[in-house]
Structure 1
């Protein structure tokens, strides 16, 4: 059992769209990630995802609407819902999702991360 300093962990990396695992509980991973630019349209058939904005602002685009998230706000994207995260400027995000969750869901490509680093 050890505490996690989120600011310290975020200082350990500077790339985008590459989540790092910082904790695990009950089959869930707690991940930190930085976003900038546009991600890919995707969905997760079996997993819900929680996006919690730590610093900055982002939006999550859906086919019929867009949700803007500011610091200290979160959104849960239900399984099976197609979405695309977008950040015009750098944003730091905490993700809560099952440990089986692939970052690009049903869309494989250059941003897919099959194995995540634990920091």
Structure 2
């Protein structure tokens, strides 16, 4: 029987809810580790970043990562065909989330743009940034 694998995931976020990675940063993923190795790595990396309140790392088991691969993607589009982002705008990507968290976040962000026929957000299983 193979030993359970763990990962340390996180980085610098753009918001204090830790839903969006900071501009110019990427979501970091370290591992696989054993449970003890993951905890030791987490202690080390959080100790080095303790002075930045926008940095957060969590330990996740391998099987928990499957559920945390949902993204909310969209923004303001050039027209109602929703093929091209509006001039001067960027594709917005939020996550990764667990499935229910992604749905809750999608509901929140779409309620903020309900009066705009050019805004659209979708839930994706893949990070569109590659």
TM-score range, shorter chain: under 0.3
Q: Considering Cα pairs closer than 8 Å and 6+ residues apart, tell me whether 1 or 2 has the greater RCO.
A: 1
TM (norm. structure 1) is 0.27
TM (norm. structure 2) is 0.25
